[in-house]
Amino acid sequence: MHRSIRKLASPFRDGDWPNLGCPVCGEGGLRVERFEWEHQNGQKDHEDDPTDLRGRFELRLVCGRAQCTSWVLMTGDYITDWSFDDYNKYLDVWPMLTVRTILPPIPVIELTDNVPESVRTAIDRASAVIWLDPLAFAGVLRTAVERLMDEQGIVVRPAGKKPAYLHDRLLEFAKVQPQAGKLLLAAKWVGNTGAHETTPFTPTDALDTAEMVEVALGVIYAKDNSALLARADRINNAKKLVP
């Protein structure tokens, strides 16, 4: 998980933009092209108390890669923070931004190329709702874990031929993948909170859960390093740089 993603989980200052990668091409970085805001009363200023301003913002980011230049639209709300210089009697006010939507979604989980499409699709859906509704994110991420169990062929049939419960499937899966199974079981418990709207659940909580799934997927679908290891053997045997 890229560390800049975590910056989106808390309010951040206007101008202190996270360093985000392009979700379209996956190679370029995003730069700010346009930033607009509007106070709740529809005005651009506030004569009574500038420290109490709040409202909505719209941000257009553009991929800096010449072969892409795709737009990414970010929306959200803001409140104001401020500081006062006693010596100069100067009040400095700035917006603190809270992201609600990003379109197209910026992935919150880094996936290797061999992660199955059904799992990838569910994770992409989760990435689209995490900032607007972290509880919904937890529920959709749970669906991604269900799809993962399908891909792994983990089917548990309880007595009475009822559909397999995810909990039972994960316990079975943990017998062959203990580390990944432990992480996915923890993510499942968190995902259960998606059904309880009274449960406090923040974007930071959502990202912590996503990181568990990301690490588990890294264990299950580990990058193939066989070619690099084979070259290391050749270098060690030759005791010099060889192809």
Give the rounded distance of the alpha carbon of 150 from its chain centre: 23
Indicate if the pLDDT at residue 44 is higher than 70: no
Report the C-alpha gap between 239 and 118 in whole angstroms: 45
Report the C-alpha gap between 121 and 48 in whole angstroms: 49
User: What are the domain boundaries of the chain?
Assistant: 1-105, 107-243
Per-residue confidence (pLDDT) for residue 163, from 0 to 100 = 65
Report the C-alpha gap between 71 and 61 in whole angstroms: 6
Per-residue confidence (pLDDT) for residue 60, from 0 to 100 = 96
Residue of 176, 170, 169 whose CA lies nearest to 219: 176
Which of the four pLDDT bands, split at 50, 70 and 90, describes residue 49?
low
Query: How much is the average pLDDT of 165-175?
Result: 91
Enter the pTM of the model.
0.84
